[in-house]
Amino acid sequence: MPLTPDQQAEVDAQRAQTVPTRRAVSPGMEAHLYTAIPVLDHGFVRVIDYMGDDAAICQAARVSYGRGTKSVQNDEGLIRYLMRHWHSTPFEMCEVKLHVKLPVFVARQWIRHRTANVNEYSARYSILDREFYIPAPEHLAAQSVVNNQGRGAALEGEEAARVLDILKTDANRAYDHYEQMISQDGQAGLARELARMNLPANIYTQWYWKVDLHNLLHFLRLRADAHAQYEIRVYADAICKVVADWVPFAYKAFEDYRMGGATMSATALDCVRRMLKGEEVTQETSGMSKGEWREFMDTLG
């Protein structure tokens, strides 16, 4: 259950309130405010607050670049220009604050993106719930033999059942010991800040994560990618849907130029020019390493 009854009651109360405002609002984002989007087995993402919209990006760009944007006739065209030419500061005018519930090992990946403000649930002061991420059977996979940080073929049958049993048993045993250490029959048990170190990395934590749109799109470009780990990718996918409703022009440009586009080296671009002239280019004549050539071929499809 992603939300407890108390949390759901809080969400209902927040969504029932409406306040007149003079600030810019995004109708698409207003529909998402406070609502929890379920992710994984116990996790969620929900919007707590936001600032700005597509118009705010354009407003900032026109202040910054002045005459340089006069040739752009509309907001969507301007935003596409900014995205195409890697102008970042106008996108920093928009911000969002998210409440995220996620497994600790996913949080440790996520925190590598250091361009946000984070406040995490503290297990020094509070007791963590008995909630663990247990993968669905179809997401249990063997180690990839070609990628040291990736997955290979899915586990099946008895092997999958054995792994699931280990994950569930170990997680619950660790939590049992956690409870025993912090409670000693009415006497003061082990300090919570020490007892927490015995908990597994698949236990759930929560945080507030505030980030500007420029850095959020960078996060999404990496974490919503097909090569990202599944458990963080599903959070990125959920956030993508929110951003698409919040700043539709910016998100469309992001999909086109970042998610669906490709960056080429000077060597790769030279190979494309040679191919367009009808020359047969091979890895040996390309000037690329085998790895670069393989990626180049993947880009060309």
Residue range 239-263: mean pLDDT, rounded? 96
Say if residues 128 and 196 touch (Cβ distance below 8 Å). yes
**What's the confidence (pLDDT) of residue 44?**
97
Q: What angle do CA 139, 113, 217 make, to 5 degrees?
A: 85
CATH of the domain at 109: 3.30.1360.170
Which residue is it, tokens 């490709």? 262
Q: Are 184 and 296 in a shared domain?
A: no
Q: Are 286 and 233 in a shared domain?
A: no
Q: Are 168 and 239 in a shared domain?
A: no
Is the model's pLDDT at 72 over the cut of 90?
Answer: no
Residue range 5-9: mean pLDDT, rounded? 83
Per-residue pLDDT tens for 106-153?
999 999 999 999 999 999 989 999 999 999 989 988 787 777 677 778
Annotation says 223 is catalytic:
yes
DSSP state of 98: E
Measured from the Cβ of residue 271, the count of other Cβ atoms closer than 10 Å reads 23
Short-list 66, 20, 30, CA closest to 51:
30
**What's the confidence (pLDDT) of residue 26?**
94
Is the model's pLDDT at 68 over the cut of 60?
Answer: no
- The helix/strand count (H/E) of the chain reads as 13, 9
Give the integer Cα–Cα distance in Å for 192 and 196. Answer: 6
Q: Are 129 and 158 in a shared domain?
A: no
Mean pLDDT of the chain: 91
Residues 6+ apart with CB under 8 A from 61: 69, 78, 82, 87, 90
Q: Are 232 and 295 in a shared domain?
A: no
Q: Are 176 and 207 in a shared domain?
A: no
Q: Are 110 and 227 in a shared domain?
A: yes
Short-list 215, 216, 236, CA closest to 226:
236
DSSP state of 25: -
Query: Number of structural domains, the chain?
Result: 3
Q: Are 81 and 226 in a shared domain?
A: yes
Give the integer Cα–Cα distance in Å for 151 and 141. Answer: 6
* From 16-20, 50-54, 282-286, the region with the lowest mean pLDDT: 16-20
Give the integer Cα–Cα distance in Å for 73 and 282. Answer: 44
**What's the confidence (pLDDT) of residue 1?**
58
Q: Are 77 and 158 in a shared domain?
A: no
- The residue range of the domain holding 190 is 135-200
* From 5-19, 113-127, 143-157, 208-222, the region with the lowest mean pLDDT: 143-157
Say if residues 227 and 149 touch (Cβ distance below 8 Å). no
Give the integer Cα–Cα distance in Å for 99 and 206. Answer: 7
Say if residues 223 and 24 touch (Cβ distance below 8 Å). no
Give the integer Cα–Cα distance in Å for 106 and 287. Answer: 39
Residues 6+ apart with CB under 8 A from 196: 123, 124, 128, 178
Region of residue 200 (phi > 0: left; psi between -120 and 50: alpha; otherwise: beta):
beta
Q: Are 220 and 74 in a shared domain?
A: yes
- The answer to pTM > 0.85 is yes
Marked catalytic residue, from 223, 273, 274, 294: 223
- Give the SS3 label for residue 99: strand
Q: Are 270 and 290 in a shared domain?
A: yes
Q: Are 53 and 109 in a shared domain?
A: yes
**What's the confidence (pLDDT) of residue 141?**
84
